[in-house]
Amino acid sequence: MTEVVATNETILVVGGGISGMTAALEAAETGKKVVLVEKRPYLGGRVSQLYKYFPKLCHPTCGLEINQRRAKMNPNLTIITMAEVTNIEGEAGAYTATVKLAPRFVNDNCTGCGDCGKAVEAEFDDEYNYGMSKRKGAYLPHVMAHPMQYVIDPRIIGTDDAQKAKAACKYDAVDLDMTEREIKFPAGAVIWATGWQPYDAAKIQPYGYDRFDNVITNVEFERMADPKGPTGGKIVRKDGKEAKNVAFIQCAGSRDRNHLYHCSRICCMASLKQTHYVVDAYDDAQVTIYYIDIRAIDRFEDFYQTVRAMDNVKFVKSKVANVITDKEGNPICRGVDTEGYHRYENTHDLVVLATGMEPSVAKGDFPVDIVINREGFIEPDAANGGVFAAGSASDALDVNRAVQHATGAALKAIQVVNRVARAEA
């Protein structure tokens, strides 16, 4: 990792998901110096883990590729991966950021050839696939990771595997002596784009996510549909049975004062999108969507109506009360519907919980003074000074709105560093 060159006219972007990338690129392309700090070993965040976007059902890899290319070509942008901002001090126009760099154990010589991955034997849960598959102790996080460099899992350091990885590398890219470092640099404005994480489904006790193999979350289902995912794109259960009869439970965690106060906005459209995956995979598919109300707003209405019109898709207006399983492990959704108040007990092959979004930084963990609302998202507030939220750090947003919001945040940050530039001129 090269040292960071930064001044009070630099914009620091925290988080390299779709919002952070967008904000960083928009600012850098106007000529501002930008430092982008990302915790994961690659950019793209949760968008890189999506199979398709709604409503066009196109692939996020397409847009990511464009952004990655923009990032590579821009000399104003410095990208630091495997890094976490631990402290931000100062005020608008004069911040000092402290960043903790985790060792990658692989340097910039890496060509992504994969020889180290082949040599290493130890395997770990693959975070990229939400633990649904294994990856090696030396690994490329995903096929189009940016930077296209391998990572060595710190858990194999000091073992034979680490030596094997080093021996296998033809480019002298494996550096087992790397250690955790801390760097400090100035910044005039900060864009906070730490995004979201899926709400912990195990906390929704009646749905049994922690007890039943065939109750999974929508982010896991998304990986399952991806041909590059843990099942090679097959929609199957853990026991290998094809999941043809799939139930989606909406508002799993969202709009529930016991869990998340807010509506997560994306889950209705995500389930409607994932319904397409099931229907496309099996001719005799049967999908049931349990919902309180479908929030497919404005231009998404057409998408909803298309799914609604499918013969093999059933909409049940009811929040499922609880899930139990039969002897074969088939999940059974139980509840009472609101259209007629009929009691039901429906058996499915697989239940997908449409889990909501929560901010990925917990309320007390922000390393900077910032105004947080009841839901844990960042409020636009004058007290935040030169720190601006972008994307899902500010609210539950879909990709489209996150990108718009990030562009706005970039503009606000540019205004701050322009003020600094005028004062210094």
Partner 1 sequence: MSDMNTAMIEKYRNSFLSEVEANVEEGEWVKMCMQCGVCAGSCPLGDAWEHTPQKIFMMIRAGKRDEVLQSDSMWMCTSCYNCIVRCPRELPITHIMHGLAHYAKRLGIVPQGQPTAKFAQLFWNNLMKKGRVNELKLGISLYFMNGFGEGVKTSLKMKDIGIGMVKTKRMNPMEMLGGHAVKDLSGFQKVIKKAQELEDARLAKHGG
Binding site for partner 1 (CB under 8 A): 206, 251, 255-258, 292, 318-322, 334-338, 341, 343
Q: How far is the CB of 361 from partner 1 (least distance, A)?
A: 25
Q: How far is the CB of 319 from partner 1 (least distance, A)?
A: 4
Q: How far is the CB of 41 from partner 1 (least distance, A)?
A: 38
Contact 21, 14 (CB under 8 A): no
For partner 1, which is the closer residue by CB, 156 or 320?
A: 320
- E strand intervals along 223-300: 245-252, 286-291
Q: How far is the CB of 342 from partner 1 (least distance, A)?
A: 10
For partner 1, which is the closer residue by CB, 22 or 355?
A: 355
For partner 1, which is the closer residue by CB, 177 or 339?
A: 339
Q: Which amino acid is at 189?
A: A
Q: How far is the CB of 320 from partner 1 (least distance, A)?
A: 7
For partner 1, which is the closer residue by CB, 242 or 337?
A: 337
* 359: nearest Cα among 271, 291, 261, 224: 261
For partner 1, which is the closer residue by CB, 164 or 255?
A: 255
Q: How far is the CB of 341 from partner 1 (least distance, A)?
A: 5
- Give dist(CA 307, CA 311) in Å, integer: 9
For partner 1, which is the closer residue by CB, 290 or 388?
A: 290
Which ranges of 138-287 would DSSP assign to H, the alpha helix?
160-168, 218-225, 267-281
Phi-psi region of 302 (alpha: psi -120 to 50; beta: other; left: phi over 0): alpha
Q: How far is the CB of 23 from partner 1 (least distance, A)?
A: 34
Contacts 24+ apart (CB under 8 A), 322-328: 322/206, 322/207, 322/208, 323/206, 323/207, 323/208, 323/212, 323/215, 323/249, 323/351, 324/208, 325/208, 325/212, 325/214
* 119: nearest Cα among 101, 134, 93, 137: 137
Contact 35, 185 (CB under 8 A): yes
Q: How far is the CB of 336 from partner 1 (least distance, A)?
A: 4
For partner 1, which is the closer residue by CB, 322 or 400?
A: 322
Return the structure tokens found at 235. 């929609």
For partner 1, which is the closer residue by CB, 7 or 347?
A: 347
- Give dist(CA 216, CA 203) in Å, integer: 13
Largest CA distance in the chain: 75
